Structure 1
């Protein structure tokens, strides 16, 4: 069985990995004023857009994910011919309509694919599964990496589906935003009142940074730490301890940064986490954060994800 993999462009993984495993990207288009970029996981284009537009006006951005019709057309134009079964893994449905759009599109895809496959010489059924990763950005990558491993190992679709749905429940994503004012302004632009002016002002005045935790689609503060770099360090130390304890359900840690990766490498805790992963045979993936991620959480934000049971932050 030919199994294909689809992710949206908010899934933070290196483009080389996505290309190696033939991932199809559902691009998310970002508009800031007159500037428009469809995010296809091109890190150079993302960084250029960041430096030109996001740093000053990113909170005003409009993000436009693939519509139901665009997803339908993508599948019928290529995927129903190239594959027999496709897993489409999306950013959490609590933060984006991509999961709902893909789910809605799946009904018409399964109704319309037969003549297209027949014309291409395929007389077998086509199937697809839309999976809500229930997480964001780098943490989405945990499921995508495991899916690629299972496909490469020749596992069947039922086993892959069960494994991914289980991991989605236990993927832990941690986000450290550097600028609470930016986060507040972005939230207000989207109609989200979860970051109030008072908390943003107090956090900025006292240099208090929240460590935000995402699991099962819910995002909330895991800790509040004075200073951005100490917050990053304590978060990465927490992840390193989970790695060293053998807690991970899959040998994967994914990390993304809202800027040049050289800046990420200089942050405290980064080298210790890399060393912990190497010592425990855990694969470490790092990438420039998606354009969607950066306009939502700000330039310089750090995200790290892994799969493990238990959510208690021990920073």
Structure 2
């Protein structure tokens, strides 16, 4: 029985890792300065966007979920003929329409998959689940990596859904926004008031760089630094210490809205790499995708790991 995992373009993972494990990427539409692009997490296109400066502030950028019809067609053409069981993990439903559209598409697929199944020559029944990851970016990537581990262990269909949804609550994420004004403006256009104008003003007036920490998307500022590099170093130190203390899955996911040269120069990255290697933990280091970068702003960093309940300050 062949099990396939689907993630959307908000999920940040190394391209090599995604390719090796046969992840199917559900695209997201990016609209920049009125031009439409389809984000499939292609590394060449992503690199072109970083080099072009289209992701910098001053450009009007939005993301849009694929429609129910578009997702239905992708599932029928690409998923039904290839897999017996498909798991689709989406970016948190509180921040995107993707979960709802994928769920609606799943229902139409389940009612009409037999013809496509028969035409492909694949015998037997087909089943599918759409799961709200309750995560963003690196957190969604971490959940996908753990899900692939469960699939490799041949966990049953029903147990897989339960394990994934339960495990998601154990993921802790740090976000370092490079420009809090960018996030506030994006949130304002979406009608999300979670980032206040006062916080944005303070960030500009005092040149503060916050570290936002929490479970899934329920984060809060836990540190305010006067320097981006200091914030990065604190997050790397936290992650290294938490790796030493033990994780619930052998992965740390780190996505960065930077060029690869800038990523390799990040303070504390070598420490985190060495700590992960010493503890048999795989560091899933990736360049932040177009969708993620539009959402949180270029230059930002997102790190996720899974562990027992704790606070950021416990590992400083």
Fold-level match, TM-score > 0.5?
Answer: yes
Contact 1:254/1:305 (8 A) holds in 2? yes
Alpha-carbon offset, residue 51 of structure 1: 3.6
Measure the CA separation in 1 of the matches of 2:198 and 2:34. Answer: 32
Measure the CA separation in 1 of the matches of 2:109 and 2:58. Answer: 38
Alpha-carbon offset, residue 79 of structure 1: 1.0
Aligned to 2:253: 254
SS in 2 for 1:113: helix
Alpha-carbon offset, residue 198 of structure 1: 2.7
Query: Any idea what the Cα deviations from partners look like across 1:110-151, whole Å, max 9, x if unmatched?
Result: 111123223333442111111111111011111111222233
| Pair 1:277-2:272 in alignment | no
Residues 50 and 36 (structure 1 numbering): CA distance in 2 closer, same or farther, change over 3 Å?
farther
Alpha-carbon offset, residue 214 of structure 1: 4.4
Aligned to 1:7: 7
TM-score by length of 1: 0.93
Residues 205 and 162 (structure 1 numbering): CA distance in 2 closer, same or farther, change over 3 Å?
same
Contact 1:171/1:215 (8 A) holds in 2? yes
Aligned to 2:195: 195
Alpha-carbon offset, residue 261 of structure 1: 2.2
Aligned to 1:209: 209
Measure the CA separation in 1 of the matches of 2:191 and 2:51. Answer: 26
Query: Any idea what the Cα deviations from partners look like across 1:11-55, whole Å, max 9, x if unmatched?
Result: 101111111111111111111113332111122311322343111
TM-score by length of 2: 0.93
Query: Any idea what the Cα deviations from partners look like across 1:239-283, whole Å, max 9, x if unmatched?
Result: 11110011x110000101102122122121211111110110001
Count of aligned pairs? 313
| Pair 1:306-2:301 in alignment | no
Measure the CA separation in 2 of the matches of 1:57 and 1:28. Answer: 22
Aligned to 2:58: 57
Contact 1:3/1:157 (8 A) holds in 2? no
Alpha-carbon offset, residue 90 of structure 1: 0.8
Alpha-carbon offset, residue 75 of structure 1: 1.1
Measure the CA separation in 1 of the matches of 2:113 and 2:163. Answer: 27
Alpha-carbon offset, residue 67 of structure 1: 1.4
Measure the CA separation in 2 of the matches of 1:267 and 1:49. Answer: 21
Aligned to 1:222: 222
Aligned 1:282-297 pairs, distance under 5 A: 282-297=281-296
Aligned to 2:162: 162
Measure the CA separation in 2 of the matches of 1:176 and 1:44. Answer: 25
Measure the CA separation in 2 of the matches of 1:148 and 1:311. Answer: 25
Q: Structure 1 stretch 222-231 or stretch 67-76: which is displaced more?
A: 222-231
Measure the CA separation in 2 of the matches of 1:126 and 1:213. Answer: 39
Q: Structure 1 stretch 36-45 or stretch 268-277: which is displaced more?
A: 36-45
User: Structure 1: any 5+ residue segments left out of the alignment?
Assistant: none
Query: Any idea what the Cα deviations from partners look like across 1:207-264, whole Å, max 9, x if unmatched?
Result: 2222122424423323323321111111111111110011x11000010110212212
SS in 1 for 2:55: helix
Residues 187 and 313 (structure 1 numbering): CA distance in 2 closer, same or farther, change over 3 Å?
same
Residues 106 and 311 (structure 1 numbering): CA distance in 2 closer, same or farther, change over 3 Å?
farther
Contact 1:8/1:27 (8 A) holds in 2? yes
**Structure 1 outlier segments of 4+, above 4 Å:** none
Contact 2:28/2:291 (8 A) holds in 1? yes
Contact 2:57/2:182 (8 A) holds in 1? no
